[in-house]
Structure 1
Amino acid sequence: MPPQDEQITVTRNDEAGRYEVTVDGAIAGFTVFEIDDDGRAVYPHTVVDPAFGGRGLGSVLVSAALADEAARGTTIVPLCPFVVRYLERTEVAGLVIAWPEVRS
């Protein structure tokens, strides 16, 4: 878990096509999304900088990103193994998921 005195934020960066998690203003990780021809957000990849590892930031990041997608009414396609595992363990209220035919 992150120390209580750290400022952690998750923001959507449409220009870069990703959600970013920052710790005290430094980008600690991101999850990439690509909008497909059907208007769905495809999530192929999530990265947390090893310098920020072990703090649960990946879960903080993905939780906020998927909650935002649910609020936007976006259907998501989880391809990233981290996002898939998160969704297998956690229900995100209102999130519409289009599972790929072949799941890893």
Structure 2
Amino acid sequence: MAIEVRDRPELDRFELLVDGLVAGHCDYQDTGSERALVHTEIYPRYEGQGYGKILVQAALDATRADGFQILPLCPMVHHFVESRPEYLALVPHWARERFGLPQ
């Protein structure tokens, strides 16, 4: 099974492909030095197989590589960041309290 995550900036989203088929996406909006991750969706056929974690981690890693901080508006992204302290540094200090994340 081939899994790929690709950035589709023309659509403002990352797409997860499984065997060449789009299995889900993570939508974003860039705002200066921050990228707001606003919605993540895994299509029903692919739910419950860990693809959400793969997609969110790849989106966060690509966002870091692009030099953005993140605003975890999407509940899936928020939970991922909250449960993995190594990604907390991507959230600006001013936003952590707003999102209920540790300082």
TM-score range, shorter chain: 0.7 to 0.9
**Superposition RMSD in Å:** 1.9
Aligned twin of 1:67: 61
Identity among equivalent pairs (%): 32
Identify the match of residue 41 of structure 1 among 35, 42, 47. Answer: 35
Question: How many residue pairs were aligned?
Answer: 98
Aligned twin of 2:52: 58
Identify the match of residue 19 of structure 1 among 14, 20, 28. Answer: 14
Equivalent pair of 1:59/1:86 in contact (CA under 8 Å) = yes
Gaps of 5+ in 1: 1-5
Task: Report which structure shows greater RCO (CA 8 Å, sep ≥6).
Answer: 1
TM-score using structure 1 length: 0.84
TM-score using structure 2 length: 0.85
Q: Which has the higher helix share?
A: 2
